Amino acid sequence: VDNYPTNGTPVIGPITLAPGAFTNFSGSYIAPKCCCEIVDTLTATGKDKCDSHIVQTTASQVCELLTSPALSVVKFCPTGQFPAGSLFSYSGAVTNSGDTTLTNVVVTANRPGDNTVLVGPIDLAPGESQSFTGSYTVPANSDPSTDIVVATGNDACRGTAVAAKADCVGAIPLAGNPILSSPTSSKSGITITWASSRGSNYIIQYSDTINNPNWIALPGTITATGDTAQMTDSSPAASQRYYRVLIVQ
């Protein structure tokens, strides 16, 4: 018998085995969603044909369960225009949308300053949610609808990092590796353009040789507001210069 899916689940038998004889068996069950691993124990029991003496033995195996950790976050915003100097208030919720407990769940916003903590760190069981609120005074030349909240956490089983982003419009796909297009030259300098993910932060680094291990960052961080982003190198002094774009986590 097996201890999964319930104690005493039949696997084989009753059968008769002569001295030295053996038989193979197999079994299956739906993996539980209770934990990171289970200890599966088989118990074999028999009775001596001569004197009815009971014999028993067990075999156990630690079975690691596959998990699919995931986070989702939503941001609910008021409608209307919010001029500079007015108060912008919003709410939202972060949800464990995976199948394993998440630890160190934190939700941050990029207003009124980078990494403003709204929630956490907390733990969330699968399906569990936590609401949050935030507010700030709208700065000049800004659009509150494009400001983002970022949720991060770790799979309790293996420490795998998960993340999600959202603005007033909805969920924002997480950025993959940015694709850098050919830089263009003008009187103002060399402009670098790359495929971006709205709300993600980027920096540009340069080097005069492609194999230089010490790349230098151009001043400033770019927060993408669309599918592409740009930065201009206003003083490319060298006769040749290589560029690379990095996501700022």
218 C-beta neighbours (distance < 10 Å), count: 17
How far apart (Å, rounded) are the C-alpha atoms in residues 61 and 38? 8
37 C-beta neighbours (distance < 10 Å), count: 11
How far apart (Å, rounded) are the C-alpha atoms in residues 93 and 107? 9
Strands 184-186 and 216-217: unpaired
Report the pLDDT value the prediction gives residue 196, as an integer from 0 to 100: 76
Residue 128, classified by CB atoms within 10 Å of its CB into exposed (0-12), middle (13-18) or buried (19+), is middle
Report the pLDDT value the prediction gives residue 187, as an integer from 0 to 100: 74
Report the pLDDT value the prediction gives residue 15, as an integer from 0 to 100: 94
Report the pLDDT value the prediction gives residue 38, as an integer from 0 to 100: 86
pLDDT along the chain (249 residues), means of 10: 91 93 91 81 93 92 84 88 85 90 91 87 92 90 83 86 86 67 75 79 82 80 80 74 79
Q: Calculate the average pLDDT of the chain.
A: 85
How far apart (Å, rounded) are the C-alpha atoms in residues 166 and 116? 15
| pTM (2 d.p.) | 0.59
Distances (CA, A) of 11 to 45, 48, 81, 135: 12, 20, 67, 60
Report the pLDDT value the prediction gives residue 91, as an integer from 0 to 100: 92
Q: What angle do CA 168, 222, 249 make, to 5 degrees?
A: 75
Structure tokens at 184: 């263009």
